[in-house]
Amino acid sequence: MEIAETIIEVRYAETDQMGVVYHNNYLVWMEIGRTRLIEQLGFRYFDMEEAGYLSPVLDVHIHYGKPLRYGQKAVVKTWIKGYDGLRVTYGYEICYEETKEVAITGETEHVCVTKEDFRPVSLRRTFPNWHEAYLKALE
């Protein structure tokens, strides 16, 4: 299984009044990790958009464990958890860089759609190179 790792330095602006990372920022970090994984597989999401397609989020699940704080570093681990040629589910684990302790786990589900009408398309047919890379990354 292919796993991308991205280091995030927790910025002050990402914390709330309690001094911990505001929960919505984890979604941003997950997107950063997903983009890194796609690049690691040899592609760019930008190119998909330029070709007239998007990959919107259909579903999000996050389990919040131990909170991260300003000044700490996190590692976002991202992998393909499931893929059926149409839908792809990315898995995430965000850990403390120093201790490797898990802060959050999560997943997002996506589908490829046309930009003009959001009609779903088969990744297998529309982007066969992505399809093959996703299948290989699942192994």
Domain spans, the chain: 3-138
Q: Which of 134, 120, 131, 116 is nearest to 51 (CA)?
A: 116
Q: Please tell me the predicted confidence (pLDDT) of residue 99.
A: 95
Annotated active-site residue 16? The verdict is yes
Residue identified by tokens 């958009």 is 49
* 76-86 pLDDT tens trace: 999 999 999 99
* 53-98 pLDDT tens trace: 999 999 999 999 999 999 999 999 999 999 999 999 999 999 999 9
Catalytic hit among 16, 47, 59, 84:
16
pTM of the model: 0.94
**Fold (topology level) of 3-138:** Thiol Ester Dehydrase; Chain A (3.10.129)
